[in-house]
Structure 1
Amino acid sequence: MRSQDREEMRRIGFFRGVDDPEQVDAMLRGAFLQRFPAHVELIQTGEPADFLHVIVDGTVEMFSGHRDRETTLGVSGPGDSFILAAVLFDRPYLQSARALTAARILMVPAEAVRQAFAADAGFARSVAESLALAYRGLIMELKNQKLRSGLERLANWLLAHDAANGSKGRFDLPFDKKVLAARLGMAPEVLSRSFAALVPYEVVVQGPSVVIRDPAVLRKLAQPCTTIDGATL
Protein backbone atom coordinates (compact mmCIF):
# COMPACT_ATOMS: atom_id res chain seq x y z
CA MET A 1 0.00 0.00 0.00
CA ARG A 2 1.32 3.47 -0.87
CA SER A 3 2.26 5.74 2.04
CA GLN A 4 -0.41 8.31 1.10
CA ASP A 5 -3.04 5.57 1.01
CA ARG A 6 -1.90 4.33 4.41
CA GLU A 7 -2.33 7.82 5.86
CA GLU A 8 -5.84 8.01 4.41
CA MET A 9 -6.77 4.60 5.83
CA ARG A 10 -5.63 5.61 9.33
CA ARG A 11 -8.42 8.20 9.34
CA ILE A 12 -11.32 5.91 8.43
CA GLY A 13 -13.95 5.25 11.05
CA PHE A 14 -13.09 1.60 11.55
CA PHE A 15 -9.88 2.59 13.37
CA ARG A 16 -11.37 5.49 15.34
CA GLY A 17 -11.63 3.65 18.66
CA VAL A 18 -8.09 2.24 18.69
CA ASP A 19 -6.14 3.44 21.73
CA ASP A 20 -2.67 2.46 20.53
CA PRO A 21 -1.66 3.85 17.11
CA GLU A 22 0.76 0.94 16.75
CA GLN A 23 -2.21 -1.41 16.53
CA VAL A 24 -3.47 0.51 13.50
CA ASP A 25 -0.03 0.24 11.93
CA ALA A 26 0.01 -3.50 12.62
CA MET A 27 -3.39 -3.97 10.93
CA LEU A 28 -2.38 -1.86 7.94
CA ARG A 29 1.02 -3.49 7.55
CA GLY A 30 -0.39 -6.50 5.75
CA ALA A 31 -3.51 -4.82 4.38
CA PHE A 32 -4.43 -4.26 0.75
CA LEU A 33 -6.35 -1.34 -0.75
CA GLN A 34 -8.08 -2.70 -3.84
CA ARG A 35 -10.29 -1.18 -6.53
CA PHE A 36 -13.06 -3.37 -7.93
CA PRO A 37 -15.37 -2.74 -10.89
CA ALA A 38 -19.12 -3.10 -10.51
CA HIS A 39 -20.60 -6.61 -10.35
CA VAL A 40 -17.38 -8.29 -9.20
CA GLU A 41 -17.88 -10.92 -6.50
CA LEU A 42 -15.72 -10.08 -3.50
CA ILE A 43 -16.27 -13.06 -1.19
CA GLN A 44 -18.23 -16.28 -1.37
CA THR A 45 -20.34 -18.10 1.20
CA GLY A 46 -18.34 -20.86 2.88
CA GLU A 47 -14.92 -19.36 2.21
CA PRO A 48 -12.55 -18.86 5.17
CA ALA A 49 -12.56 -15.34 6.58
CA ASP A 50 -8.98 -14.41 5.71
CA PHE A 51 -9.65 -10.67 5.56
CA LEU A 52 -11.93 -8.09 7.05
CA HIS A 53 -13.26 -5.90 4.24
CA VAL A 54 -13.86 -2.19 4.90
CA ILE A 55 -15.66 -0.18 2.22
CA VAL A 56 -13.83 3.07 1.50
CA ASP A 57 -15.83 4.06 -1.60
CA GLY A 58 -18.73 2.44 -3.44
CA THR A 59 -21.66 0.18 -2.66
CA VAL A 60 -21.57 -3.55 -1.89
CA GLU A 61 -24.43 -6.07 -1.90
CA MET A 62 -24.48 -8.84 0.69
CA PHE A 63 -26.33 -11.88 -0.66
CA SER A 64 -26.73 -15.61 -0.33
CA GLY A 65 -28.17 -18.50 -2.32
CA HIS A 66 -29.48 -22.00 -1.77
CA ARG A 67 -30.17 -24.47 -4.58
CA ASP A 68 -31.70 -22.33 -7.35
CA ARG A 69 -32.66 -19.36 -5.18
CA GLU A 70 -30.73 -16.21 -4.31
CA THR A 71 -31.59 -13.22 -2.16
CA THR A 72 -30.10 -9.90 -1.11
CA LEU A 73 -29.38 -9.72 2.62
CA GLY A 74 -28.20 -6.15 2.78
CA VAL A 75 -26.52 -3.26 1.00
CA SER A 76 -23.47 -1.56 2.54
CA GLY A 77 -21.66 1.67 1.76
CA PRO A 78 -18.58 3.71 2.70
CA GLY A 79 -17.41 3.14 6.27
CA ASP A 80 -19.12 -0.24 6.61
CA SER A 81 -17.15 -3.44 7.15
CA PHE A 82 -17.91 -7.05 6.33
CA ILE A 83 -17.97 -9.68 7.72
CA LEU A 84 -16.73 -8.86 11.23
CA ALA A 85 -18.22 -11.80 13.14
CA ALA A 86 -16.66 -14.37 10.82
CA VAL A 87 -13.27 -12.68 11.18
CA LEU A 88 -13.38 -12.55 14.99
CA PHE A 89 -14.46 -16.17 15.35
CA ASP A 90 -12.25 -17.43 12.50
CA ARG A 91 -15.29 -19.03 10.86
CA PRO A 92 -16.37 -19.32 7.20
CA TYR A 93 -18.43 -16.52 5.67
CA LEU A 94 -22.18 -17.08 5.97
CA GLN A 95 -22.92 -14.77 3.05
CA SER A 96 -21.39 -13.57 -0.18
CA ALA A 97 -20.61 -10.04 -1.33
CA ARG A 98 -20.35 -8.30 -4.68
CA ALA A 99 -19.76 -4.73 -5.75
CA LEU A 100 -22.91 -2.99 -6.94
CA THR A 101 -20.83 -0.03 -8.12
CA ALA A 102 -17.14 0.51 -8.65
CA ALA A 103 -15.68 0.20 -5.16
CA ARG A 104 -12.50 0.76 -3.22
CA ILE A 105 -12.08 -1.83 -0.46
CA LEU A 106 -9.55 -2.02 2.36
CA MET A 107 -8.72 -5.68 3.07
CA VAL A 108 -7.27 -6.14 6.57
CA PRO A 109 -5.77 -9.55 7.46
CA ALA A 110 -8.11 -11.37 9.83
CA GLU A 111 -5.32 -12.43 12.18
CA ALA A 112 -4.21 -8.80 12.60
CA VAL A 113 -7.79 -7.81 13.48
CA ARG A 114 -8.02 -10.59 16.08
CA GLN A 115 -4.69 -9.59 17.61
CA ALA A 116 -5.76 -5.94 17.87
CA PHE A 117 -9.10 -6.99 19.37
CA ALA A 118 -7.26 -8.94 22.10
CA ALA A 119 -4.62 -6.28 22.76
CA ASP A 120 -6.42 -2.92 22.49
CA ALA A 121 -9.38 -2.16 24.79
CA GLY A 122 -10.53 0.81 22.73
CA PHE A 123 -10.63 -1.22 19.56
CA ALA A 124 -12.43 -4.05 21.37
CA ARG A 125 -15.09 -1.57 22.53
CA SER A 126 -15.55 -0.29 18.97
CA VAL A 127 -15.90 -3.83 17.65
CA ALA A 128 -18.41 -4.69 20.38
CA GLU A 129 -20.43 -1.57 19.54
CA SER A 130 -20.39 -2.46 15.85
CA LEU A 131 -21.60 -5.99 16.53
CA ALA A 132 -24.29 -4.71 18.91
CA LEU A 133 -25.57 -2.26 16.29
CA ALA A 134 -25.57 -5.03 13.71
CA TYR A 135 -27.64 -7.21 16.05
CA ARG A 136 -30.17 -4.42 16.64
CA GLY A 137 -30.34 -3.85 12.89
CA LEU A 138 -31.02 -7.54 12.34
CA ILE A 139 -33.90 -7.49 14.84
CA MET A 140 -35.36 -4.39 13.18
CA GLU A 141 -35.14 -6.03 9.77
CA LEU A 142 -36.73 -9.23 11.09
CA LYS A 143 -39.63 -7.19 12.46
CA ASN A 144 -39.88 -5.27 9.20
CA GLN A 145 -40.16 -8.50 7.20
CA LYS A 146 -42.59 -10.27 9.52
CA LEU A 147 -44.88 -7.45 10.67
CA ARG A 148 -45.39 -5.50 7.43
CA SER A 149 -46.78 -6.17 4.01
CA GLY A 150 -44.52 -5.80 0.99
CA LEU A 151 -46.23 -2.51 0.12
CA GLU A 152 -45.60 -1.15 3.62
CA ARG A 153 -41.95 -2.21 3.47
CA LEU A 154 -41.54 -0.42 0.16
CA ALA A 155 -43.24 2.73 1.46
CA ASN A 156 -40.95 2.84 4.50
CA TRP A 157 -37.85 2.19 2.39
CA LEU A 158 -38.76 5.08 0.08
CA LEU A 159 -39.30 7.44 3.00
CA ALA A 160 -36.04 6.38 4.66
CA HIS A 161 -34.04 6.76 1.44
CA ASP A 162 -35.59 10.16 0.79
CA ALA A 163 -34.72 11.28 4.33
CA ALA A 164 -31.13 10.07 3.88
CA ASN A 165 -30.90 12.22 0.75
CA GLY A 166 -32.16 15.47 2.22
CA SER A 167 -35.95 14.89 2.15
CA LYS A 168 -36.23 16.48 -1.29
CA GLY A 169 -39.02 14.16 -2.44
CA ARG A 170 -37.08 13.23 -5.57
CA PHE A 171 -34.24 10.75 -6.08
CA ASP A 172 -32.92 7.98 -8.32
CA LEU A 173 -32.83 4.43 -7.05
CA PRO A 174 -29.27 3.65 -5.90
CA PHE A 175 -29.33 0.17 -7.47
CA ASP A 176 -31.50 -1.72 -9.92
CA LYS A 177 -35.02 -2.83 -9.04
CA LYS A 178 -34.09 -6.51 -8.91
CA VAL A 179 -31.72 -5.80 -6.01
CA LEU A 180 -34.31 -3.60 -4.30
CA ALA A 181 -36.95 -6.32 -4.63
CA ALA A 182 -34.65 -8.89 -3.01
CA ARG A 183 -33.66 -6.37 -0.32
CA LEU A 184 -37.34 -5.92 0.54
CA GLY A 185 -38.10 -9.64 0.45
CA MET A 186 -40.28 -9.76 -2.64
CA ALA A 187 -40.13 -10.98 -6.23
CA PRO A 188 -39.33 -8.39 -8.93
CA GLU A 189 -42.83 -8.65 -10.41
CA VAL A 190 -44.32 -8.01 -6.96
CA LEU A 191 -42.15 -4.90 -6.64
CA SER A 192 -43.47 -3.64 -9.99
CA ARG A 193 -47.05 -4.13 -8.81
CA SER A 194 -46.21 -2.44 -5.51
CA PHE A 195 -44.83 0.63 -7.29
CA ALA A 196 -48.05 0.79 -9.31
CA ALA A 197 -50.07 0.48 -6.08
CA LEU A 198 -48.30 3.58 -4.70
CA VAL A 199 -49.75 5.89 -7.35
CA PRO A 200 -52.77 6.77 -5.13
CA TYR A 201 -50.26 7.68 -2.42
CA GLU A 202 -48.66 10.41 -4.56
CA VAL A 203 -45.61 8.39 -5.62
CA VAL A 204 -44.50 8.51 -9.27
CA VAL A 205 -41.84 6.11 -10.57
CA GLN A 206 -40.33 6.37 -14.06
CA GLY A 207 -37.40 4.02 -14.61
CA PRO A 208 -34.97 4.65 -11.76
CA SER A 209 -36.50 8.05 -10.93
CA VAL A 210 -38.81 8.32 -7.91
CA VAL A 211 -40.91 11.36 -6.97
CA ILE A 212 -42.77 11.54 -3.67
CA ARG A 213 -45.25 14.33 -4.23
CA ASP A 214 -46.75 14.28 -0.74
CA PRO A 215 -44.66 12.53 1.94
CA ALA A 216 -47.47 12.91 4.49
CA VAL A 217 -49.78 10.76 2.36
CA LEU A 218 -47.10 8.08 1.94
CA ARG A 219 -46.35 8.22 5.67
CA LYS A 220 -49.97 7.34 6.46
CA LEU A 221 -49.49 4.10 4.53
CA ALA A 222 -46.01 3.39 5.89
CA GLN A 223 -46.68 4.22 9.55
CA PRO A 224 -42.97 4.35 10.40
CA CYS A 225 -42.01 3.05 13.83
CA THR A 226 -38.82 3.88 15.76
CA THR A 227 -38.40 0.27 16.97
CA ILE A 228 -38.40 -0.94 13.36
CA ASP A 229 -37.02 2.00 11.37
CA GLY A 230 -34.92 3.80 13.96
CA ALA A 231 -35.25 7.54 14.43
CA THR A 232 -34.64 8.50 10.79
CA LEU A 233 -38.29 9.06 9.85
Structure 2
Amino acid sequence: MTVRPGERPEIAQLPLFSQMAPAEQERILSGSFLQVFPPQLTLFEIGQRADFLYVLVDGMAELYCHGAGRDTTMRIVEPASSFILAAAVTDMPYLMSARTLMSSRILLVPAALLREIVRKDQALMEATMHELALAYRDMARALTDIKLRQSAERLGNLVLQQDHRQNGNGRVILRAEKRVLASLLGMTPENMSRAFGVLAKHGVVTDGAQVTICDRAALEAFVRPDPVLE
Protein backbone atom coordinates (compact mmCIF):
# COMPACT_ATOMS: atom_id res chain seq x y z
CA MET A 1 0.00 0.00 0.00
CA THR A 2 1.09 3.58 -0.49
CA VAL A 3 2.48 5.59 2.40
CA ARG A 4 -0.42 6.61 4.65
CA PRO A 5 -0.70 10.20 5.88
CA GLY A 6 0.12 9.16 9.44
CA GLU A 7 3.28 7.38 8.30
CA ARG A 8 4.60 10.19 6.12
CA PRO A 9 6.41 12.19 8.85
CA GLU A 10 8.39 9.08 9.85
CA ILE A 11 9.33 8.23 6.27
CA ALA A 12 10.16 11.85 5.45
CA GLN A 13 12.78 11.83 8.22
CA LEU A 14 14.68 8.81 6.89
CA PRO A 15 18.28 9.83 6.10
CA LEU A 16 17.86 9.37 2.36
CA PHE A 17 14.90 11.78 2.13
CA SER A 18 15.11 14.19 5.07
CA GLN A 19 16.81 17.09 3.28
CA MET A 20 14.84 16.96 0.04
CA ALA A 21 12.86 19.84 -1.39
CA PRO A 22 9.21 19.50 -0.18
CA ALA A 23 7.74 19.09 -3.66
CA GLU A 24 10.17 16.34 -4.68
CA GLN A 25 9.85 14.64 -1.29
CA GLU A 26 6.09 14.57 -1.80
CA ARG A 27 6.57 12.87 -5.16
CA ILE A 28 8.68 10.17 -3.50
CA LEU A 29 6.14 9.63 -0.74
CA SER A 30 3.18 9.58 -3.12
CA GLY A 31 4.82 7.14 -5.51
CA SER A 32 6.27 4.69 -2.98
CA PHE A 33 4.81 1.75 -1.07
CA LEU A 34 5.22 0.89 2.62
CA GLN A 35 4.63 -2.80 3.29
CA VAL A 36 5.04 -5.28 6.13
CA PHE A 37 6.68 -8.54 5.07
CA PRO A 38 6.72 -11.76 7.15
CA PRO A 39 9.96 -13.52 8.15
CA GLN A 40 11.89 -15.56 5.59
CA LEU A 41 10.15 -13.97 2.61
CA THR A 42 12.25 -13.62 -0.55
CA LEU A 43 12.12 -9.98 -1.67
CA PHE A 44 13.98 -10.44 -4.94
CA GLU A 45 16.36 -12.82 -6.67
CA ILE A 46 19.81 -12.29 -8.12
CA GLY A 47 19.64 -11.33 -11.79
CA GLN A 48 16.23 -9.62 -11.60
CA ARG A 49 15.99 -6.07 -12.87
CA ALA A 50 15.94 -3.47 -10.09
CA ASP A 51 12.33 -2.27 -10.19
CA PHE A 52 12.48 -0.82 -6.67
CA LEU A 53 14.84 0.62 -4.12
CA TYR A 54 14.23 -1.05 -0.75
CA VAL A 55 14.47 0.96 2.47
CA LEU A 56 14.27 -1.03 5.70
CA VAL A 57 12.23 0.94 8.24
CA ASP A 58 11.78 -1.82 10.89
CA GLY A 59 12.99 -5.40 11.14
CA MET A 60 15.99 -7.10 9.54
CA ALA A 61 16.89 -8.40 6.09
CA GLU A 62 19.64 -10.54 4.60
CA LEU A 63 21.42 -10.06 1.30
CA TYR A 64 22.83 -13.34 0.06
CA CYS A 65 24.23 -15.17 -2.97
CA HIS A 66 23.73 -18.80 -3.85
CA GLY A 67 25.44 -21.33 -6.04
CA ALA A 68 26.60 -24.95 -6.11
CA GLY A 69 23.72 -25.83 -3.78
CA ARG A 70 24.53 -23.44 -0.96
CA ASP A 71 23.95 -19.85 0.16
CA THR A 72 26.34 -17.30 1.62
CA THR A 73 25.32 -14.17 3.48
CA MET A 74 26.75 -10.96 2.03
CA ARG A 75 25.19 -8.37 4.33
CA ILE A 76 22.73 -8.09 7.20
CA VAL A 77 20.56 -4.99 6.81
CA GLU A 78 19.25 -3.19 9.90
CA PRO A 79 17.07 -0.05 10.19
CA ALA A 80 17.03 2.53 8.86
CA SER A 81 19.00 1.65 5.77
CA SER A 82 18.43 1.33 2.06
CA PHE A 83 19.73 -1.66 0.15
CA ILE A 84 20.49 -2.43 -3.48
CA LEU A 85 20.83 1.30 -4.05
CA ALA A 86 23.55 0.79 -6.69
CA ALA A 87 21.28 -1.44 -8.81
CA ALA A 88 18.38 1.02 -8.54
CA VAL A 89 20.52 4.01 -9.52
CA THR A 90 22.23 2.27 -12.45
CA ASP A 91 19.12 0.39 -13.69
CA MET A 92 21.08 -2.87 -13.64
CA PRO A 93 20.20 -6.37 -12.37
CA TYR A 94 20.55 -7.29 -8.72
CA LEU A 95 23.87 -8.92 -7.87
CA MET A 96 22.40 -10.50 -4.72
CA SER A 97 19.13 -11.95 -3.51
CA ALA A 98 17.32 -10.65 -0.44
CA ARG A 99 14.98 -12.06 2.19
CA THR A 100 13.57 -10.91 5.49
CA LEU A 101 15.00 -12.36 8.69
CA MET A 102 12.07 -11.20 10.83
CA SER A 103 8.82 -9.35 10.28
CA SER A 104 9.96 -6.21 8.50
CA ARG A 105 8.44 -2.92 7.40
CA ILE A 106 10.00 -1.90 4.10
CA LEU A 107 9.54 1.12 1.86
CA LEU A 108 9.59 0.31 -1.85
CA VAL A 109 10.59 3.28 -4.01
CA PRO A 110 10.15 2.76 -7.77
CA ALA A 111 13.66 2.81 -9.22
CA ALA A 112 12.63 4.87 -12.25
CA LEU A 113 11.12 7.52 -9.97
CA LEU A 114 14.26 7.55 -7.83
CA ARG A 115 16.50 8.09 -10.86
CA GLU A 116 14.27 10.87 -12.16
CA ILE A 117 14.27 12.80 -8.89
CA VAL A 118 17.99 12.25 -8.23
CA ARG A 119 18.62 14.30 -11.38
CA LYS A 120 16.46 17.14 -10.04
CA ASP A 121 16.98 17.23 -6.29
CA GLN A 122 20.50 18.01 -5.07
CA ALA A 123 19.78 16.84 -1.51
CA LEU A 124 18.64 13.42 -2.71
CA MET A 125 21.65 13.19 -5.01
CA GLU A 126 24.01 13.97 -2.14
CA ALA A 127 22.24 11.51 0.19
CA THR A 128 22.43 8.83 -2.51
CA MET A 129 26.16 9.44 -2.97
CA HIS A 130 26.64 9.27 0.81
CA GLU A 131 24.83 5.92 1.13
CA LEU A 132 26.73 4.46 -1.84
CA ALA A 133 30.01 5.58 -0.26
CA LEU A 134 29.08 3.97 3.07
CA ALA A 135 28.20 0.73 1.27
CA TYR A 136 31.61 0.77 -0.42
CA ARG A 137 33.34 1.28 2.94
CA ASP A 138 31.38 -1.62 4.45
CA MET A 139 32.47 -3.82 1.55
CA ALA A 140 36.11 -2.79 2.02
CA ARG A 141 35.92 -3.60 5.74
CA ALA A 142 34.39 -7.02 5.06
CA LEU A 143 37.05 -7.87 2.47
CA THR A 144 39.83 -6.73 4.80
CA ASP A 145 38.36 -8.85 7.60
CA ILE A 146 38.29 -11.97 5.44
CA LYS A 147 41.86 -11.48 4.21
CA LEU A 148 43.57 -10.47 7.46
CA ARG A 149 41.78 -12.38 10.24
CA GLN A 150 41.24 -16.00 11.17
CA SER A 151 37.70 -17.14 11.97
CA ALA A 152 37.79 -16.49 15.74
CA GLU A 153 39.39 -13.10 15.13
CA ARG A 154 36.62 -12.20 12.64
CA LEU A 155 34.00 -13.15 15.19
CA GLY A 156 35.72 -11.10 17.89
CA ASN A 157 35.93 -8.14 15.54
CA LEU A 158 32.18 -8.45 14.86
CA VAL A 159 31.52 -8.41 18.60
CA LEU A 160 33.58 -5.22 18.99
CA GLN A 161 31.82 -3.59 16.03
CA GLN A 162 28.41 -4.42 17.45
CA ASP A 163 29.46 -3.15 20.87
CA HIS A 164 30.47 0.16 19.25
CA ARG A 165 27.03 0.38 17.60
CA GLN A 166 25.13 -0.70 20.73
CA ASN A 167 26.27 2.02 23.13
CA GLY A 168 29.69 0.54 23.94
CA ASN A 169 28.76 -0.83 27.37
CA GLY A 170 30.28 -4.26 26.79
CA ARG A 171 26.91 -6.05 26.44
CA VAL A 172 26.06 -7.01 22.88
CA ILE A 173 22.83 -8.52 21.59
CA LEU A 174 23.22 -10.61 18.45
CA ARG A 175 19.95 -9.88 16.68
CA ALA A 176 20.53 -12.25 13.76
CA GLU A 177 20.60 -16.02 14.15
CA LYS A 178 24.05 -17.44 14.70
CA ARG A 179 23.86 -19.50 11.49
CA VAL A 180 23.34 -16.26 9.53
CA LEU A 181 26.23 -14.57 11.34
CA ALA A 182 28.41 -17.60 10.63
CA SER A 183 27.62 -17.34 6.93
CA LEU A 184 28.33 -13.61 6.99
CA LEU A 185 31.77 -14.30 8.47
CA GLY A 186 32.58 -17.14 6.09
CA MET A 187 32.20 -19.91 8.69
CA THR A 188 30.05 -22.95 9.30
CA PRO A 189 27.85 -22.94 12.43
CA GLU A 190 30.21 -25.54 13.92
CA ASN A 191 33.21 -23.30 13.31
CA MET A 192 31.37 -20.41 14.95
CA SER A 193 30.73 -22.50 18.06
CA ARG A 194 34.44 -23.27 18.25
CA ALA A 195 35.27 -19.61 17.65
CA PHE A 196 33.11 -18.59 20.61
CA GLY A 197 35.08 -21.14 22.65
CA VAL A 198 38.30 -19.42 21.59
CA LEU A 199 36.88 -15.99 22.48
CA ALA A 200 36.00 -17.28 25.95
CA LYS A 201 39.77 -17.38 26.58
CA HIS A 202 40.01 -13.72 25.63
CA GLY A 203 37.44 -12.09 27.87
CA VAL A 204 34.12 -12.92 26.15
CA VAL A 205 31.15 -14.64 27.81
CA THR A 206 28.23 -15.87 25.69
CA ASP A 207 24.71 -16.58 26.91
CA GLY A 208 22.40 -17.29 24.00
CA ALA A 209 22.11 -14.13 21.92
CA GLN A 210 23.81 -11.98 24.58
CA VAL A 211 27.58 -11.55 24.43
CA THR A 212 29.42 -9.84 27.29
CA ILE A 213 32.90 -8.37 26.96
CA CYS A 214 34.46 -8.98 30.37
CA ASP A 215 38.04 -8.12 29.42
CA ARG A 216 38.12 -5.60 26.60
CA ALA A 217 41.91 -5.28 26.61
CA ALA A 218 42.36 -9.04 26.17
CA LEU A 219 39.80 -9.17 23.37
CA GLU A 220 41.32 -6.22 21.51
CA ALA A 221 44.82 -7.69 21.85
CA PHE A 222 43.57 -10.91 20.26
CA VAL A 223 41.40 -9.36 17.54
CA ARG A 224 43.49 -6.32 16.57
CA PRO A 225 40.36 -4.23 15.85
CA ASP A 226 40.02 -1.81 12.98
CA PRO A 227 41.90 1.43 13.74
CA VAL A 228 39.10 3.41 12.05
CA LEU A 229 35.70 2.70 13.60
CA GLU A 230 33.52 4.88 11.37
TM-score of the superposition, structure 2-length normalised? 0.93
* Paired-residue identity, %: 39
Deviation at 1:231, TM superposition (A): 2.1
Q: Which ranges of 4 or more aligned residues in structure 1 deviate by more than 3 Å?
A: none
Q: Residue by residue, what CA displacement relative to the aligned partner does 1:105-126 show, whole Å, maximum 9, x if unpaired? A: 0111111100011111221121
Aligned partners of 1:203, 1:75: CA distance in 2, in Å?
23
Residue type of the alignment partner of 1:10: A
Distance 1:171 1:122, change over 3 A: closer
1:166 Cα deviation from its structure 2 partner:
2.2
CA contact (8 A) 2:159 2:172 kept: no
1:68 partnered with 2:66: no
1:6 aligned residue: 8
Offset at residue 174 of structure 1 (A): 0.9
Contact 1:14 1:79 in 2 (8 A): no
Q: How many pairs are equivalent?
A: 228
TM-score between the two structures when normalised by the length of structure 1: 0.92
Q: Deviations over 1:57-109 (max 9, x none)?
A: 11111111012121000111112101111111111111111111211101111
SS at match of 1:193: helix
Report the equivalent of 2:229.
231
Asked whether the 8 Å contact 2:154–2:223 carries over to 1, the reply is yes
Post-superposition offset of 1:156 = 0.9
Q: Which residue of 2 aligns with 1:29?
A: 30
CA separation in 2, counterparts of 1:59 and 1:147?
Answer: 28
For residues 153-208 of structure 1, the C-alpha deviation after alignment (integer angstroms, 9 at most, x for no partner) is 11111112122222332333211110010111111111111111122112222332
Change (3 A) 1:172 1:133: closer
Whether 1:123 and 2:121 are equivalent positions in the alignment is no
Unmatched segments (≥5 aa) in structure 1: none
- Give the structure 1 partner of residue 193 of structure 2: 192
For 1:168, the aligned partner's letter is N
RMSD (Å), alpha carbons: 1.5
**Cα deviation code 1:23-68 (max 9, x no counterpart):** 1111222211001122212121111111111111111111110121
Contact 2:54-2:84 at 8 Å conserved across structures: yes
- Structure 2: 5+ residue runs without aligned partners? none
User: Whole-Å Cα distance in 1 between the matches of residues 170 and 130 of structure 2?
Assistant: 33
CA–CA distance in 1 between the matches of 2:130 and 2:168? Answer: 29
Give the secondary-structure state (helix, strand or coil) at the position aligned to 1:14.
Answer: coil
Instruction: Tell me which moved more, 104-113 or 160-169.
Output: 160-169
Q: Specify the alignment match of 2:110 in structure 1.
A: 109
Partner of residue 148, structure 2: 147
